[in-house]
Amino acid sequence: MNWSSRWVAVVACLLAVGQASFGDGGFVPQLAGSALSADQRAIVVFDDQQETLILQTAYEGDRSDFAWVIPVPKLLGAGNVSTVSADIFDELYWLTEPAAYGYRASHASCLMGCSSGSGPEQFRSVRVWDTFQVDDYELTILSAAESSDLASWLDANAFAFPPDHQDELDYYVNSSWFFVAAKINPATREDNAALPPGAGGGYGEGTEEMRPLCLSFTTDEPVYPLRISTVSTQSEVEVLLYVIAPHRMTAGNYNTADVRLSGDFPGGDFSAYYEKEFRDNLSRAGVGSLLVEYTGPFPGYLANAYSADLGLGAGEFYVTRLRSYLTPEEMQQDVNLVQAGTDDSFAIRVTIAQANIGKLQLAGTVLFLGMVAVLGLSRTNRHPLLQAVLVVLAVGLLLI
């Protein structure tokens, strides 16, 4: 390779580095701002008095130790339970995520879970309505007249219900709710086959991400069973809900407010900038509030791909994204969802401050001039001057 060819290659590499910096700093329209996998994330679909509640969880360790209890307001049968690809959560995340010119972020965690083994037995007022399998899940549908009996049944069947959380069971038993108790059938999957490091679907290393569970039932008002989560929550958790319905939705029993940014994005780390803005909005909205990060029409391509899984009928639908950080004390009620007063769309689309755009433009100009200089010098073979040109290129990259 001659000197001219070598320096064309060097310039190409340097420009590639420059483009990566632009992509991270502000030119490529990507999405970011909050957790790809929140501590709790769920999809609530409501259409014609039919709710489909889609929940996803993850776990670490032996599959035989996995156990999950979900309260629902109506009796479910095998025809009311299914699974769906986890891709729907990713699709909704990228559709609704606050957008800037660059940056992505992901956090880790899990949802509404308990843990331990198996073993069937009936306890006084506990009624087992049905048992069946859906994909890898072994499901038992339960009800009880006394929460103490239900707690005993869960404990005897290795769902490890903490005895100091009797109030949470009372909350649902007194409302005549039913319970879906889920385990993994070890015969359908290879034991102890945790995902390799970094392959936990956003949940963390060595963590298995389960297929989301879809629970469908009739209801006059859609609901997300939040209070049961206090059983496995010791401190503040992030809650992320996607609500799909014929209208924009809001929480009827939790204060709800749109996120309002204080000004232009000044550049730098967008994730840190947006998270501070989000926390400031939560402080202004008040303790235990939910914030709207997005609401708008549910895209046709998603409706076509997932309408059967989501239980969607004909017509237009909206998706509303609600997020918050809540402590156990702030999760003493389920989230009752109601139609908002308007169907106006809302999305967070951040712009970079003009001063930073000028800075990026200057850096691009310096890079271009440096490339021209390198090409010119390579023809004359004045190699001692190449170091100076590289310094110019380096300065241009630093300005980005």
Q: Is the Cβ–Cβ distance between 134 and 175 less than 8 Å? A: no
Answer yes or no: do 231 and 170 share one domain: yes
Residues whose CB falls within 8 Å of the CB of residue 156, separated by 6 or more in sequence, listed in order: 119, 121, 123
Answer yes or no: do 231 and 370 share one domain: no
Burial string for 282-312 (b: 16+ CB within 10 Å, else e) reads beebeebbbbbbbbbebeeebbeebbebbbb
Q: Is the Cβ–Cβ distance between 63 and 184 less than 8 Å? A: yes
Answer yes or no: do 331 and 382 share one domain: no
Answer yes or no: do 264 and 388 share one domain: no
**Looking at 309, 324, 347, which one is the last position of a domain?**
347
Q: What are the two backbone dihedrals, phi and then psi, of residue 355, each rounded to the nearest 5 degrees? A: -60, -40
Residue 287 in tokens: 């303790």
What distances in angstroms separate CA 30 from CA 103, 307, 336, one per listed residue? 6, 26, 33
pLDDT at 281: 96
**Looking at 347, 366, 389, which one is the last position of a domain?**
347
Low-confidence residues in the chain, pLDDT < 70: 1-37, 58-66, 100-123, 186-209, 352-400
Answer yes or no: do 340 and 361 share one domain: no
pLDDT at 266: 83
pLDDT at 367: 61
Distance CA 281, CA 279 (A): 5
Answer yes or no: do 236 and 309 share one domain: yes
Answer yes or no: do 191 and 218 share one domain: yes
Distance CA 214, CA 70 (A): 11
Distance CA 263, CA 363 (A): 24
Pick from 273, 263, 267, 270: which is nearest to 360 by CA?
267
Range of the domain at 220: 30-347
Distance CA 51, CA 212 (A): 15
Q: Is the Cβ–Cβ distance between 51 and 219 less than 8 Å? A: yes
Answer yes or no: do 124 and 246 share one domain: yes
Q: How many domains, the chain? A: 2
Answer yes or no: do 58 and 180 share one domain: yes
Answer yes or no: do 306 and 385 share one domain: no
Answer yes or no: do 320 and 260 share one domain: yes
Q: What are the two backbone dihedrals, phi and then psi, of residue 201, each rounded to the nearest 5 degrees? A: 65, 30
Answer yes or no: do 245 and 394 share one domain: no
- Condensed to tens digits (0 to 9), the pLDDT of residues 313-334 reads 888 999 999 999 999 999 999 9
Give residue for tokens 């929940």. Answer: 55
